[in-house]
């Protein structure tokens, strides 16, 4: 089968590789219909290198069941499915307590196990989630990132009627806008430096958009909230600069939730850091998308709200390409050669 393999920094190759086969009774092989590029993929491609040289890459995907092990009963050949790519050990202290996202050996397919940038991918049965006919394959490929965002929201104490600010309107930020509304937010502010992204943010439900180039996000948000700030701030940009600035956006006693990862040092000016102490903020980190019972309510509620049409991803899907286009599209994204939202691979494209 054809697949994309990562060999080193900025060394992604479209190659022929061995097709997965059933080796255990609980395994499911899925024919990949759509697979998305995650922000973490871009960072690993440009900066961190691969976990294992020559690994088949990718972890956000949907597809159709192609083969099943002898003990598999929850899905059958031909079923439409999404896959939870997170692999947990089940034996460490965190896993035994039910905190699966804190597993000491947590990993995802595409790192140490073959991933979904391929024609076929293999997962244990408990990682395979049937999807209704109302959810198309492109939308289903975004179940994983939506579940990542949901996991973060479940960590907060957000209540209906609260105000929320989202820093960054990439795919995670745009999903955060929609989850904020699902959780009952009264008003959602979105902050970015890209007018095109802010336009999409409005399309998916943002009430107010803030372009923070000529005037800081802090100044503008304080004007809009009469100097109070918001109940919950979501950092989804993954920038060292915004990771410092978000502390000034929360009101006294508010919360700051980090979904983005800057992958470099964050230097916090005294003005921003003091907000944590003086405003008695609660600062939350959120990692991955799984909880007990596995894979967690993040996944079931994502599918529920996608089925209802309350989580929309089509507005921010900008590219649908073949696997053969992989090396070129990654270079273009790293070099900012064009506007990119969510990029999906369609392995069936020639």
Sites in the chain below the pLDDT cut of 50: none
CA separation for the pair 84, 59 (Å, rounded): 8
In the CATH scheme, what is the code of domain 2-142+313-345? 3.90.180.10
All CATH 3.90.180.10 domain ranges in the chain, comma separated: 2-142+313-345
CA separation for the pair 248, 67 (Å, rounded): 52
Per residue in 182-205, pLDDT (tens digit) is: 999 999 999 999 999 999 999 999
pLDDT of residue 4: 98
CA separation for the pair 143, 14 (Å, rounded): 25
pLDDT of residue 263: 82
pLDDT of residue 279: 98
Please state whether the predicted TM-score (pTM) of the whole model is above 0.75: yes
All CATH 3.40.50.720 domain ranges in the chain, comma separated: 149-285
> Which segments of the chain are extended strands (E)?
2-8, 11-16, 27-36, 55-56, 60-68, 80-83, 86-87, 107-108, 120-124, 128-130, 163-167, 187-192, 208-211, 230-235, 250-258, 282-285, 317-321, 342-345
Which of 18, 140, 123 is CA-nearest to residue 66? 123
In the CATH scheme, what is the code of domain 149-285? 3.40.50.720
pLDDT of residue 350: 65
pLDDT of residue 51: 76
Task: Report the 3 state secondary structure along 20-58.
Answer: CCCCCCCEEEEEEEEEECCHHHHHHHHHHCCCCCCEECC
The backbone torsions φ and ψ at residue 147, rounded to the nearest 5 degrees and listed phi first, read -65, -35
């Amino acid at each position: 089968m054809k697949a994309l393999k990562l060999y080193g920094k900025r060394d992604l190759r479209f190659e022929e590789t061995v097709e997965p086969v059933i080796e255990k009774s609980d395994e499911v092989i899925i024919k990949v219909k759509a697979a998305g590029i995650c922000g973490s993929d871009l960072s690993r491609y440009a900066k961190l290198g691969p976990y294992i040289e020559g690994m088949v890459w990718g972890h956000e995907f949907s597809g159709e069941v192609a083969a099943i092990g002898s003990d598999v009963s929850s899905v059958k050949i031909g079923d439409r499915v999404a896959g939870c790519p997170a692999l947990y050990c089940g034996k460490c202290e965190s896993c035994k307590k039910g905190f699966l996202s804190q597993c000491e050996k947590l990993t995802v397919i595409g790192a140490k196990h073959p991933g979904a940038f391929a024609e076929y991918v293999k997962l244990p049965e408990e990682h395979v989630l049937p999807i209704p006919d109302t959810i198309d394959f492109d939308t289903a490929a975004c179940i994983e990132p939506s579940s990542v965002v949901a996991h973060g929201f479940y960590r907060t104490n957000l209540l209906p009627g609260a105000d929320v600010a989202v820093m960054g309107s990439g795919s995670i930020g745009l999903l955060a806008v929609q989850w904020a509304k699902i959780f009952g937010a009264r008003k959602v502010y979105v902050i970015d430096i890209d007018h095109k992204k802010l336009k999409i943010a409005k399309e998916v439900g943002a009430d107010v958009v803030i372009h923070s180039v000529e005037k800081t996000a802090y100044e503008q948000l304080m004007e809009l909230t009469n100097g109070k700030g918001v109940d919950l701030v979501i950092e989804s940009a993954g920038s060292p600069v915004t990771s410092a600035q978000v502390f000034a956006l929360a009101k006294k006693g508010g919360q700051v939730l980090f979904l983005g990862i800057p992958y470099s040092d964050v230097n916090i000016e005294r003005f921003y850091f003091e907000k944590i102490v003086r405003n008695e903020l609660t600062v939350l980190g959120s990692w991955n998308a799984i909880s007990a019972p596995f894979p967690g309510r993040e996944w079931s509620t994502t599918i529920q709200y996608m089925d209802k049409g309350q989580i929309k991803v089509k507005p921010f899907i900008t590219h649908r390409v073949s696997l053969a286009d992989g090396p070129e599209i990654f270079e273009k994204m790293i070099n900012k050669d064009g506007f990119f939202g969510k990029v999906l691979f369609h392995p069936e494209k020639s």
